Structure 1
Amino acid sequence: MSIQVVFVHGIRTSATMWRAQLAHLAERGVAATAVNLPGHGSRIAEAFVIEAAMATIDDAVRDAATRGPVLLVGHSMGGLVSIAYAGAEDPPPVAGFIGASCTAFPRGAGLAAYRFLARRFNALPDKGLWLTTQVLAATLPEETRADFAAGGYAFDAQDVALASLSTLDLAADVHRLRMPVWWINGQFDQLRPQERLFQRLAPHSELIVVPRTSHLVTAMRPRVFNALLDVAVATLEKGVPQPS
């Protein structure tokens, strides 16, 4: 049975953010799918509910698991929700996990500041779209620049999604991860602060910091991220024993 990859997007964006990764894996003959969480992408009219987000991931993972071992890959918010999913007390069929740009606990002053800024941007006439477009134009290569916007921006889902993250017991969830785990962060990633703590909670995990890269590590240096995907796929293909 061949490795199956399931991608989970970050906040505001959608499954389209993984276009470069899906194309890369398709060229290699590796089966992959990218989900849209509630309130995002093709489901932008829905309300974001954390239980529905978990169910979306579960449906994709269990479907993929009928065809082979599953590598779950989540970015930012999608990474945090995927940690909670993969680290459940009753573990789902996840053979390996990549958490990209998600090594920070969503709580306290940091979360409050993020929610405050999100609300301020949402109060603008264009909800901050002009600024978002300018930042992406200045930081992303042309080949991936349109991917984050291709499925639409879920501005209205931001605040409730951020609030939902604070209800997760991520420290316990990270500690319960027993599959091979890779944490992938950009050098200038704002969600790096607790990466060493995440490593200590999952001692078998690997931490990889991509130089000259921001929070949008998947799109800023797609070839590097794709190479790291290849490493994870190859590791699972070899059937490396899971840590005890």
Structure 2
Amino acid sequence: MSTSVDGVPVVLVHGLRTSRTMWRAQVDALEAYGRRAVALDLPGHGTRSGTRFTSAGAVNAVRDAVDGAGGRALVVGLSLGGYTAIAHAARHPEQAVGVVAAGCCTQPSRMLVGGWAVAAQGFARMPDRGAAVNGFLVRHVLPPAGARDVAAGGFALDVVEDVLREVGRTDPLTDLARVEAPVWLVNGRLDHFRTQERRFVAAAPDARLVVVPGATHLVSLVAPVRFTRVVLEAADEVDRRAGG
């Protein structure tokens, strides 16, 4: 196990309703390889559950995490975190030396966001605000280690409507076209959010697609070893570019 810290740091951005604890496997593995890893909580999630979620606030949270890691980083995000990582790189090119965006190859159309909003309103009307359903899904779609990690920081059950409203106003394809750094778009083969991956790959000036066999939307949790390998390979490539 390496004990020195070298190369570009990695900043990890979680998905909707989860928190920075979902990245435990990646943080442990990256640090074992001597790579600094910083997982953050977005507004409305984890340790920031009392803060209202906005897209601008999410991008600012990534900006602050990168500043704290030295000012430049490979930014890795899953789902909401992937969209946020892309938006951050478009707005702060001086900070993003690379982007790994997973589970976010679908443009947030009005129809899609509206459907999710109706479902979110239904859960919000339940006595437990959908906690039991959420717990059931976590236990049945994730391996035990992933379920423990994602639950460790608690679930932000009240943030969904704010997130959907904000995401519905974003344009990740336009953001991708502005990203100067290399982009890795990572999707599980069975991910329902990979409907437009060819458009997303084509939108970015320097993009490559990684599809993980057998994995679903939560690819970093259901295939942690394979996902971490992608992140390590991306970090090595941006290091070579910086040195070359």
Query: How high is the TM-score relative to the length of structure 2?
Result: 0.92
Q: Is the 8 A contact 2:108 2:171 kept in 1?
A: no
Separation in structure 2 between the aligned mates of residue 202 and residue 139 of structure 1, nearest angstrom = 31
**Does 2:73 match 1:70?**
yes
Separation in structure 2 between the aligned mates of residue 214 and residue 129 of structure 1, nearest angstrom = 22
Separation in structure 2 between the aligned mates of residue 93 and residue 53 of structure 1, nearest angstrom = 15
**Does 2:189 match 1:184?**
no
Greater CA deviation, 21-30 or 57-66?
A: 57-66
Q: How far has the Cα of 1:41 moved from its partner?
A: 0.1
**Does 2:20 match 1:15?**
yes
Q: Is the 8 A contact 2:131 2:157 kept in 1?
A: no
Q: How far has the Cα of 1:106 moved from its partner?
A: 1.3
Q: Is the 8 A contact 1:3 1:30 kept in 2?
A: yes
Separation in structure 1 between the aligned mates of residue 170 and residue 140 of structure 2, nearest angstrom = 34
Identical aligned residues as a percent: 36
Separation in structure 1 between the aligned mates of residue 124 and residue 94 of structure 2, nearest angstrom = 36
Greater CA deviation, 219-228 or 132-141?
A: 132-141
Q: How far has the Cα of 1:71 moved from its partner?
A: 0.4
Q: 1:111 to 1:241 in 2, by over 3 A?
A: farther
1:166-202 Cα distance to aligned partner (Å, 9 max, x none): 2223222111112111000111112111111001111
- AA partner of residue 28 (structure 2): A
**Does 2:64 match 1:59?**
yes
1:65-120 Cα distance to aligned partner (Å, 9 max, x none): 34xx41000111111122111112x6231101000101111122111111111111
Q: How far has the Cα of 1:54 moved from its partner?
A: 1.5
| Aligned position for 1:172 | 174
Equivalent pairs, count: 239
Aligned pairs (5 A) from 1:35-184: 35-66=40-71, 69-88=72-91, 91-184=93-186
SS in 1 for 2:241: coil
Separation in structure 2 between the aligned mates of residue 79 and residue 114 of structure 1, nearest angstrom = 18
- AA partner of residue 37 (structure 2): A
SS in 2 for 1:239: helix
- AA partner of residue 63 (structure 1): G
| Aligned position for 2:216 | 214
Pairwise CA RMSD: 1.7
Q: 5+ residue gaps in structure 2?
A: 1-5
- AA partner of residue 148 (structure 1): V
Q: Is the 8 A contact 2:107 2:171 kept in 1?
A: no
- AA partner of residue 74 (structure 1): G
Larger fraction in helix: 2
SS in 1 for 2:149: coil
Q: Is the 8 A contact 1:81 1:165 kept in 2?
A: no
Q: 5+ residue gaps in structure 1?
A: none
SS in 1 for 2:106: coil
**Equivalent of 1:234, from 228, 233, 236?**
236
Q: Is the 8 A contact 1:65 1:93 kept in 2?
A: no
Q: How far has the Cα of 1:240 moved from its partner?
A: 6.4
